[in-house]
A and B are shown apart, each in its own frame.
Chain A
Amino acid sequence: MTVAREIGARLVSDVPALELRGVGKCFRLYRDINRSLKEKVVNWRKRGYELFWALQDVDLTVYKGETISVIGPNGSGKSTMLRLMTGIMKPNRGSIATHGTIAALLDLGAGFHPDLTGRENIYLNASILGIRKKDLEPIFQDIIDFSDLGPFIDNQVKNYSAGMYVRLGFSIAINVNPDILLVDEVLAVGDESFQAKCLDRISRLQESGKTIVLVTHNADLAEAVSDRVLWLERGRVKMLGDPQEVVDAYHEAMSTRPEGTEFGNRDIVIESVQLLDGEGRPSEVFRTGEPLVLRLRYTARKPVEDPVFGFGFYDRLGLMVFGTNTRLREVDIPRVEGSGVVEFVIPSLSMLDGRYYVSVAAHTRDGQVNYHWLDKKYCFDVTSPGRDSGYLTMECEIRVSSGG
């Protein structure tokens, strides 16, 4: 099974960098830990633990130059897998073969000594990662530059802020130039500009043919940066393959229904919300460029002056993609009483593929009092004809001409 395929400008080889064959890792879950000798002696016949298989029958070949992301819910064995790859733990079953040097970003700054300066810690940390001094010298300045610590590099690490600490740790790990880089959820730290810098560095590592294994909760990040995605579920491989397919299936499984909330004083109650397609039929799947009508029915038990109705679409990360309301669109509703209907008509959806959550609300003009707010209680999927990539479709005319 050779997977030599071209991804963008990169070529993934069919030379394995990491090979996991039937790997299983089992932990003993102690009911009551017998850590002292006395307890061990007293209870020597009793097996005070249950076996828990954190990983079972995992087969995976990571090819040289490939980026694989491992996704899965908490406790699915992602981090255990990474620890087995580094050799921190040994598998109980199966075998793991690695070809090339490995650096792991499991915990940034593990092994920093608070009393030493940043500079001294670079030497120490690099040697913990298995870097020789002669290999460190040429990249030493890069590490300092990348960390953005400036003069603080000669301060004791105990005086660093959490962000500085992490920056230095990441800077060391990413600059030591391993053949295989294992990354565990560390991109979640640091401010935005540092994260962008890290992602940029990762894509540069990809370009230079490094093998990367990324463990993350963020399936969309996995989809964006990987060549293949591995989905672990209760220690077993649930799915392995094309990032988009796996991530879509993962989202499908993870968010079968949105978990919404509602709140408000209920002077106005939103009784129902419907998503209608161009023909006025309720639907949950829409196509990019097609119309969508959001219809909500309300009941006001007592007269309410000057209410505002609105809605918002949110993506899977909870970011608002689009939203508006009657105040913003200057639609005045002087007074409501009894039941009624508000329709938001969108003639052409701009969003590309994905699942979107819908919030609807009725509140006062100043937004201080919510009558009724249904937060992300509804969702719909959008499929696009595949002509564009990114988040949105736009009108785009392409002009090609030759010559000057």
Chain B
Amino acid sequence: MKEYLRKLFFYRELLLNLTVKEVKVKYKNSFIGFLWSMVNPVMMLAVYYVAFGIIFKLRALGMTRYEFYLLSGILPWNFFSLSLMQSVSSVVNNADLVKKVYFPREVLPLSYIGAASFHFLLQELVLVVFLLIFRLSLSPWIFAMPLLLLLQLVFTAGLSLYLSALNVFFRDIQHFTEIALLAWFWITPVVYPISFIQESFPAWAERIYMLNPMAHIVLLWQRITYNSPANGPQAAYFSVEGFVYAVVLSVFLLISGYYLFCRLEGRFAEFI
């Protein structure tokens, strides 16, 4: 394990270069380039405003500025889902490279996560700017953003290492992940507020619901980016146990995922 980490450290520039490559390639040949990453959330905001503010009139239900609530949860979710989808098939999609050159293979899934983080940070920046423009109060928790980003990165990386390694041997994984993410989205409080679960379901169901680490991570994002008390008393939900749970689980996933990845790595080249 130590040996593997040493190698990964030696290849840190490769990780950076692959990440930069992903970022560059994504908007290569497009006129405004990476600005698309920023246009994206602006458009989302506009669409949500029209859809939920004007057409569905959610404001009547006591949700003010629902479009900001939605955006503050959906950006980290999209970041998670994009990272996972791309990294799951990363080893398989780079078969040529894996068969021909030696380098620590974990840089492949990690580089996709890295590239997705870049876009995510731009989008969060847009969100914060728009919060300021619309004079929505920022919470001091906003400075915890790097920590929260780190937590999500650890969780995503851990899961990606598991899935991308196993996907070499069972290609079903990448198809399954796609469907699983769809269901996962709806058991995570992105679209609806957490109070909805707390009010409509018995306590035991809520406990099961809260086993989902992404629920805690998304709640934290909402807490630090947009938690207007006008969204109901539960909007500012923060559970210490939940946070600790998410941290412990993420670290465990990362360590065990990395261990599994390194164990299987040697057989990638002959299996792909």
Contacts and interface: CB of A to CB of B under 8 A. Distances in A.
B18 A35 contact: no
Contacts of A124: 17-18, 21
Interface string B214-233: 00000000000000000000
B33 interface: no
B170 A40 contact: yes
A129 B100 CA distance: 11
Contacts of B14: 127-128, 130
Contacts of B101: 86, 88, 104, 106-107, 110-111, 128-129
Interface stretch (B22-30, B51-59, B118-126, B191-199): B22-30
Given A27-B270, A115-B28, A88 B99 contact: yes
A133 B17 CA distance: 10
Given A88-B102, A89-B266, A36 B25 contact: no
A83 B269 contact: yes
Contacts of A86: 101-102
Contacts of A129: 101
B7 to A, nearest CB: 9
A113 B97 contact: no
Contact of B266 (A27, A90, A123, A133): A90
B96 A127 contact: no
B25 A111 contact: no
Given A88-B99, A111-B101, A123 B17 contact: yes
B100 A88 contact: yes
A87 interface: yes
Contacts of B270: 27, 89
Contacts of A127: 11, 13-14, 16-18
Given A110-B97, A116-B25, A130 B171 contact: no
Contacts of A102: 102
A201 interface: no
Contacts of A113: 21, 25
B165 to A, nearest CB: 15
A132 interface: yes
A29 to B, nearest CB: 11
Contacts of B171: 35-36
B10 interface: yes
Contacts of B241: none
A107 B29 CA distance: 28
Interface string A127-167: 11110110000000000000000000000000000000000
B267 to A, nearest CB: 8
A120 interface: yes
Contacts of A40: 170
B161 to A, nearest CB: 19
A37 B166 CA distance: 11
Interface string B48-66: 0000000000000000000
A128 B105 CA distance: 11
A348 B7 CA distance: 63
A49 to B, nearest CB: 12
A88 B97 CA distance: 10
A128 B266 contact: no
A33 to B, nearest CB: 10
Interface string A55-89: 00000000000000000000000000001001111
A339 B172 CA distance: 74
A213 to B, nearest CB: 14
Contacts of A111: 96-97, 100-101
A117 B16 CA distance: 18
Contact of A116 (B21, B96, B103, B172): B21
A130 B21 contact: no
Contact of A37 (B24, B97, B103, B170): B170
Given A88-B102, A111-B97, A37 B17 contact: no
A133 B267 CA distance: 30
A36 B175 CA distance: 11
Contact of A130 (B11, B29, B172): B11
A130 B101 CA distance: 10
Nearest to B29: A115
Contacts of A107: 96, 100-101
Contact of A120 (B13, B24, B98): B24
A106 B100 contact: yes
B197 to A, nearest CB: 32
Given A35-B171, A37-B170, A124-B21, A87 B13 contact: no
14 contacts: A35-B169, A36-B170, A104-B102, A106-B101, A107-B100, A110-B101, A111-B100, A111-B101, A113-B21, A115-B25, A116-B21, A124-B21, A128-B103, A130-B103
Given A128-B14, A130-B14, 4 more contacts: A107-B96, A107-B101, A113-B25, A124-B17
Those 5 A-B pairs whose CB atoms lie nearest each other, nearest first: A90-B266, A110-B100, A127-B14, A87-B102, A107-B100
